[in-house]
């Protein structure tokens, strides 16, 4: 999967997440309450988006049950990223996915989703997270602290303390709310 080709298709922050992590960023950014976006709102729209990136391949159609699980995975994953210490990781859906091992001539082992369709979607996103943790980019991947936003972004700041997708919008709104709370 060519991550540079995906940059034009996916909604990302600035800068976009590196490598295949941009795929997870785009997946999480299929929803934003702040921007009134939900690319996975219906079974049909979800399958169209998944095929466009391409996470969904083959002739199988997305079922209603699979659609609900994908939307739940997106929501659970966002909650986990926002608060890893106090939120249960999305293990329930991850436990359903099968992987196959691939030994490479370079001497390393890769794990790939064993199936296409629903299993392939969730499996590929789990693989992206695992690779990001191994290459050290995961600790910079975040979601906006503003609950109505939740926009996924890559924190490129030196301090790694960025909390909002944008100080112009979400950060400013948060600070204004805090100011008015103190004034009351």
Peptide bond into 166 cis (omega under 30): no
Assign 3-state DSSP to the chain and report helix, strand, coil percentages, each to 5: 45, 10, 45
Q: Are 159 and 167 in contact (CB under 8 A)?
A: no
Residue with tokens 């785009």: 26
Q: Mean pLDDT across the stretch 33-58?
A: 91
Using the predicted structure, report yes or no on whether residue 9 has a pLDDT greater than 80.
no
CATH topology of domain 3-183: Jann2411-like fold (1.10.3300)
Query: Residue 102's Cα: distance from chain center in Å?
Result: 25
Q: Rounded to whole angstroms, how far apart are CA atoms 171 and 174? A: 5
- Report the alpha-carbon distance of residue 163 to residue 82 in Å, rounded: 10
Q: Rounded distance, CA 112 to CA 89, Å?
A: 20
pTM of the model: 0.85
For the ranges 38-42, 76-80, 99-103, 172-176, the one whose mean pLDDT is highest: 38-42
pLDDT of amino acid 154: 93
Give residue-wise pLDDT tens across range 91-104: 888 888 888 888 98
Joined tokens for residue 167: 């100080």
For strands 109-113 and 141-143, give the pairing.
unpaired
Give the start-to-end residue ranges of the domains of the chain.
Answer: 3-183
């Amino acid at each position: 999967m060519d991550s540079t080709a995906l940059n034009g298709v996916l909604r990302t922050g600035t800068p976009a997440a590196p490598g295949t992590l941009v795929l997870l960023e785009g997946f999480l950014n299929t929803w934003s309450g702040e921007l009134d976006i939900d690319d996975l709102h219906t079974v049909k729209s979800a399958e169209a988006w998944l095929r466009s990136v391409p996470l969904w391949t083959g002739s199988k159609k997305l079922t209603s049950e699979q659609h609900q699980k994908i939307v739940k995975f997106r929501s659970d994953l966002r909650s986990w990223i926002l608060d890893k210490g106090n939120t249960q990781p999305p293990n329930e859906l991850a436990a359903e996915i099968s992987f196959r091992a691939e030994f490479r001539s370079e001497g390393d082992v890769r794990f790939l989703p064993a199936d296409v369709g629903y299993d392939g979607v969730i499996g590929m996103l789990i693989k992206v997270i695992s690779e990001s943790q191994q290459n050290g980019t995961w600790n910079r991947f975040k979601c906006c602290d503003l609950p109505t936003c939740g926009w996924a972004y890559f924190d490129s700041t030196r301090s790694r303390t960025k909390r909002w997708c944008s100080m112009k919008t979400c950060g400013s709104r948060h600070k204004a709310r805090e100011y008015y709370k103190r004034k009351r």
